[in-house]
Amino acid sequence: MSQVLTVSCKLKASQSQAAKLDATREAFGQALNWVNQNTPEKIVNAVKLQSLCYYEIRARFGLSSNLAQQVCRRVAGARKVARQRNRPVKEFKRRFVTYDARIFSFREKDWTVSLATVDGRERFELAIGNYQRGMLAGSNPKSATLFQRKDGSYYIQICVEKKPPKQQDTDKVIGVDLGRTDIAHTSEGDNWNGQQLNRVRDHYSRLRAVLQRKASKGTRSSRRRCRQLLQRLSGKERRFQVWVNHRISKAIVSRAKATNSAIALEDLTGIRERVNQQPRSKTERRRANSWAFYQLRQFLEYKARVAGVPLILVPPAYTSQTCHRCLHIHPDPAQSYRSGKSFKCGHCGWEGDADLNGANVIALLGAVVNQPRGSGLFCSLVEQNRLRATESPLRTA
C-alpha cells in the first residue's frame, strides 16, 4: 500500500509569471466562493456541481476546462468535510489553486514544473534543497496545490506517492503515554514536559480574552483591527502546536528506529467527549480541549510508516491505575495507587513517576498485541490463586 507525502517547493517566478499566478489564484478563489454561494448546500457531489455551473464558471472567471472542474471538486470536498462536522462552508478565505495530472507536470531533468494559468501554460523552476530533491527523485506526481505566502513568494505542494519500507519485525515495544502534565512520556524515560506549553497557551488565551473584549466595544476601525489580531494569534498558536507535535513525534520515531522497536499508543478516540462530562473548571476544560493529541497521533503514524516502524494502538482502560511491575490494581474501585504525578503500588511497593508507569503498562500491552503469545498479562495474585486451585486436589488426596 502506497503512502502519499506532500513536498513543499518554492517557485522561481518572473514578474510576468507572478502576474499570471496572481490572476489564476484570484479567479480560482472567486470561483470557489461563487459556486459555494450559488448552488444548493446539500449538493456534495462534484459531478452534479459541474453539471450545474461548469459553463458559468468558465464564462465568468476565464478558467480553463480542467481548472473549472477542480473548482467543483474542491467545493464538493469541503462540503463533505463540513457535513461531518455539522457546520456549513461559509467562505473560502485562503487563495489557492489545486492541480491534477492534466494541468500539472513535474520534470526531473531540470527540476521544473508546468502549471496551467488563466493565460496559458507556464513552466517554473523549483528553488529546492537536497531533501525535496530526494523526495521528488524518480517520482511521477499526479496532483499539487499552489499557494502564496505572506511575503509574496509562491509555493507548490506536490503530492508524491511512496511505497513505505517493510515494517521491522521486533518483539521490543516503546510505550508512549500522552497527557497534559507531560505531553508525551515513553517507557524508556524520555518525556516532554507540558509546563512551558501551558504557559504559552495561557498567554494566548489571555490575549484573546483582552482582544475579544475590545472587539465588542470601541470604534469600527478598532473592532476591525482586533479581529485581525485575533486571526494572527490563532495562526501563531496553531503553528506552535504543529511545531511541538512534529518535534515530539520525530524524536519518538527516531528512537524506535534506532532501537529496532515498535511504538505502542493508547487509542484515545472519543476521550474528549468522555472527559468533558466530568465537572472541571473553565481553565482546565480549555487546557484539555485546546491541545491536538490526535494531530500528534497522526504525525506518529505517518512518520512511523515512512521509517518502517510498527505502530500499535492499545485500549486505554486502567493503564494509569495498573502497576507495571506486578500488574496489580487497587482493590477498591473508588481509590487508586496514582496520586497526581506519583505512583506507589500497595502490592509490590514500586514507587515512581505515574506517567512512566503508564507508559510501561502501554508497552506491555503493545508487546502482547505485537507478538501474541497467549494471555501474558495477569496479576501475580491471580497466578497464586490459580496455583492454589491446581494444588488443592492433591492435598485432599
The amino acid at residue 180 is R
C-alpha cell of 187?
517507557
Longest distance between any two alpha carbons in the chain, whole Å: 99
- Give 32's pLDDT tier (boundaries 50, 70, 90): very high
Using the predicted structure, report yes or no on whether residue 385 has a pLDDT greater than 90. Answer: no
Using the predicted structure, report yes or no on whether residue 301 has a pLDDT greater than 60. Answer: yes
Nearest to 267 by CA among 238, 301, 303: 301
**Residue 373: other Cβ atoms inside 10 A:** 8
- The mean pLDDT of 45-63, rounded to a whole number, is 94
pLDDT tens string 329-384: 888 888 888 888 899 998 888 999 999 999 999 999 888 887 766 555 655 544 44
Using the predicted structure, report yes or no on whether residue 110 has a pLDDT greater than 50. Answer: yes
Q: Bridge partners of 148?
A: 154
- Pick the range with the lowest mean pLDDT from 37-51, 155-169, 256-270, 367-381: 367-381
Residue 99: phi and psi, rounded to 5, are: -130, 150
- Give 37's pLDDT tier (boundaries 50, 70, 90): very high
The owner of cell 505542494 is 157
Domain spans of the chain?
Answer: 3-162, 173-380
- CA 341 centroid distance within chain: 27
- The mean pLDDT of 183-187, rounded to a whole number, is 90
Using the predicted structure, report yes or no on whether residue 321 has a pLDDT greater than 50. Answer: yes
Domain 173-380 has CATH 3.30.950: no
Residue 183: phi and psi, rounded to 5, are: -55, -40
| Residues shown for the chain | 397
- The mean pLDDT of 194-221, rounded to a whole number, is 79
Instruction: Report yes or no: 290 and 388 within 8 Å, Cβ to Cβ.
Output: no
pLDDT tens string 247-265: 999 999 999 999 999 999 9
- CA 157 centroid distance within chain: 17
- The mean pLDDT of 26-40, rounded to a whole number, is 94
Nearest to 267 by CA among 309, 297, 302: 297
Helices 46-61, 15-38: inter-axial angle, 10-degree rounding: 130
